[in-house]
Amino acid sequence: MVPANLADLKEKGVEKSILERNEFGYFNHVYTIHFPAPATQVVDFSPDNTVLEYGGEQFLWLKKMHLGLLYKILCSISFFFRAKQLIRKESINMIRATDPYRCGFFALVLSRATNIPFCVSIHSDYDKRYELDGAAGGQVYFGSRRMAKVLERFVLRRADMVMPIRESLGVYAVKSGARKEKIRIIPHGIDLNPFLKEVNIDFKRETGIEGKKLIVFTGRMSRENYVYDILDIALKLGKRRNGFLFLMIGGGNEEKGLNARAEEKNVSRFIRFYGFQTKEKVIDFRLCGDVNLCLMGGFSLIESAASGKPLIAYDVEWHYEIVKDGETGFLVKEGDTETAAEKIGYLIDNPAIAAKMGENAKRLAFERHSLEGTSKIKVNCYRELLGENGNSLSEDRK
Q: Give domain 193-369's CATH architecture.
A: 3-Layer(aba) Sandwich (3.40)
Maximum alpha-carbon separation in the chain: 66
pLDDT per residue over 241-258, tens digit each? 889 999 999 998 899 999
pLDDT at position 389 is 65
With 0-12 / 13-18 / 19 or more C-beta atoms within 10 angstroms meaning exposed / middle / buried, residue 160 is buried
pLDDT per residue over 32-78, tens digit each? 999 989 899 999 989 999 999 999 889 988 888 989 889 999 999 99
Check if the beta carbon of residue 320 is closer than 8 Å to that of residue 331.
yes
Residues whose CB is less than 8 angstroms from the CB of residue 154 and which lie 6 or more positions away in sequence, other chains included = 105, 108, 177
Check if the beta carbon of residue 244 is closer than 8 Å to that of residue 237.
yes
Assign 390 a pLDDT band (cuts: 50, 70, 90): low
pLDDT at position 142 is 86
Alpha-carbon distance of 161 to 384, in angstroms, equals 9
pLDDT per residue over 351-385, tens digit each? 999 999 999 999 999 999 999 999 999 999 999 99
pLDDT at position 398 is 44
Q: pTM for the complete prediction?
A: 0.82
Partner residues linked to 370 by β-bridges: 190
pLDDT at position 12 is 76
With 0-12 / 13-18 / 19 or more C-beta atoms within 10 angstroms meaning exposed / middle / buried, residue 137 is buried
Domain ranges for the chain: 6-190+371-396, 193-369
The region that residue 111 occupies, defined by phi over 0 for left and psi between -120 and 50 for alpha, beta otherwise, is: alpha
Res 145 pLDDT > 90: yes
Region 282-309: mean pLDDT is: 93
Element (H, E) at 173: helix 167-175
pLDDT at position 355 is 96
In the DSSP assignment, the letter for residue 244 is E
Res 205 pLDDT > 90: no
Assign 391 a pLDDT band (cuts: 50, 70, 90): low
Assign 19 a pLDDT band (cuts: 50, 70, 90): confident
Q: Could you tell me where the DSSP H helices lie in 247-370?
A: 255-264, 279-288, 299-306, 337-349, 351-369
Alpha-carbon distance of 357 to 328, in angstroms, equals 4
pLDDT per residue over 163-200, tens digit each? 999 988 999 999 999 999 999 999 988 889 999 988 87
With 0-12 / 13-18 / 19 or more C-beta atoms within 10 angstroms meaning exposed / middle / buried, residue 10 is exposed
pLDDT at position 317 is 86
pLDDT per residue over 326-352, tens digit each? 999 999 999 999 999 999 999 999 999
Alpha-carbon distance of 88 to 116, in angstroms, equals 10
pLDDT at position 348 is 95
Check if the beta carbon of residue 62 is closer than 8 Å to that of residue 80.
no
Closest-CA residue to 282 (of 256, 300, 262): 300
Task: For 152-172, give the DSSP string.
Answer: HHHHHHH-SEEEESSHHHHHH
Check if the beta carbon of residue 64 is closer than 8 Å to that of residue 56.
no
Dihedral sign from CA coordinates of 18, 19, 24, 30: positive
Q: Determine how β-strand 244-249 pairs with β-strand 271-275.
A: parallel
Q: Is 370 helix (H, G, I), strand (E, B) or coil?
A: strand
With 0-12 / 13-18 / 19 or more C-beta atoms within 10 angstroms meaning exposed / middle / buried, residue 115 is exposed
Check if the beta carbon of residue 103 is closer than 8 Å to that of residue 97.
yes
Res 395 pLDDT > 60: no
Helices 371-385 and 351-369 cross at an angle (nearest 10°) of: 30
**CATH class in words for 6-190+371-396:** alpha beta
